[in-house]
Amino acid sequence: MNAKVKSTLVYGGSVAVGLVSGFFGGGGGMLCVPLLQFRGLDAKRAHATALLVILPICIASSIVYIVNGYFDGTAVLCACIGVVAGGAVGAAALDKLNGATISVIFALLMMAIGLKLVIA
Partner 1 sequence: MTAQHIIIAVSALGGIIGGMGMGGGTLLIPLLTLAAGLEQHLAQAINLIAFVPMSIVALIIHKKNGYVDVKRSAPIMIFALAGAIGGSFLAKYAGGYALRACYGAFLIVLGVVQMYKTVRAVIKSKQQSKSERAAVEKVSSVGK
Positions in 67-96 near partner 1 (CB under 8 A): 68, 70-72, 74-76, 78-94
Is 6 among the residues that bind partner 1 (CB under 8 A)? no
Q: How far apart are CA 98 and CA 5, in angstroms?
A: 39
Q: How far is CA 102 from the centre of its chain?
A: 17
Q: Determine, following the binding rule CB under 8 A, whether residue 66 of this chain makes contact with partner 1.
A: yes
Q: Is 8 in the site for partner 1 (CB under 8 A)?
A: no
Residues 25-54 binding partner 1 (CB under 8 A) are: 25-30, 32, 35-36, 39-41, 44-45, 47-49, 51-54
By the rule CB under 8 A, 113 interacts with partner 1: yes
